[in-house]
Amino acid sequence: MTKLTLGSHPHMLGFEQLERLLERTAKSGNEGYPPYNIEQTSDSSYRITLAVAGFSEDDLSITVEDRQLVIRGRQREDDTSRVFLHRGIAARQFQRSFVLADGVEVREAQMENGLLHVDLSLSRPETVVQTIDIKKG
């Protein structure tokens, strides 16, 4: 039995890129740190919120490459003179990736009370109807 993929289905022409995006998303395997929320703030906007307590703006980086939003966190080395009796606050680096659909753009990012908010907007292109002339042969 052959595996039927989006790219090989006769009615799904040009969807090979979507199939690659789905595979890349499935392989990303993000662990549970840091926790995050995704909320729809309007019909055409979204907000991703990450709990990044202990990180400063300088410890975080946000990039978009090939329709993938990547948020990285790296904390500087602790002062070695500090002695912890208990260390329950995570101080590890992380990377979170989100695949963005066509038309989704990152508007801004801001820190507020240990939360990193990344605002996204969706621009919908106008519907274009094209008539194709049939040549006599």
Which pLDDT band, with edges at 50, 70 and 90, does 54 fall under?
Answer: confident
Structural domain count of the chain: 2
* Helix (H), strand (E) at residue 5: none
- Residue 47 sits in the same domain as residue 113: yes
pLDDT of residue 118 exceeding 90: yes
Residues 71, 95 contacting (CB under 8 angstroms): yes
- Claim to verify: residue 17 and residue 38 sit in the same structural domain: no
Tokens standing for residue 88: 């329950």
Statement to judge: residues 18 and 54 lie in one domain: no
User: Token digits for 4?
Assistant: 């039927």
> At 115, is the pLDDT very low, low, confident or very high (cuts 50, 70, 90)?
very high
Mean pLDDT across 40-51: 95
pLDDT higher than 90, residue 16: no
Residues 11, 64 within the same domain:
no
Average pLDDT over residues 84-90: 80
Q: Is the domain of 63 the same as that of 95?
A: yes
Same structural domain for residues 54 and 24? no
Is residue 68 located within the same domain as residue 112?
yes
Question: Which residue range forms the structural domain that includes residue 12?
Answer: 1-30
Residue 98 belongs to a domain with what CATH number? 2.60.40.790
Can you tell me the mean pLDDT for 1-19?
64
Position with higher pLDDT, 64 vs 14: 64
Check whether residue 23 and residue 40 sit in a common domain: no
| Domain match, 40 and 93 both | yes
13 in a structural domain? yes
**Looking at the domain assignment, is residue 136 inside a domain?**
no
Tell me how far apart the alpha carbons of residues 94 and 23 are, in angstroms, rounded to a whole number.
Answer: 21
- Flag whether pLDDT at 36 surpasses 90: yes
Q: How far is 137 from 121, CA to CA, in rounded Å? A: 47
Q: Residue 21 has what pLDDT?
A: 64
Confidence label for 15 from pLDDT (cuts 50, 70 and 90): low
119 bridge partner residues: 47, 108
Same domain, yes or no: 45 and 22: no
> Is 76 in a helix, a strand, or coil?
coil
Q: What is the pLDDT confidence band of residue 31, given thresholds at 50, 70 and 90? A: low
Residue 52 lies in a domain: yes
134 occurs within a structural domain: no
3-state secondary structure of 25: helix
Mean pLDDT value across the chain = 84
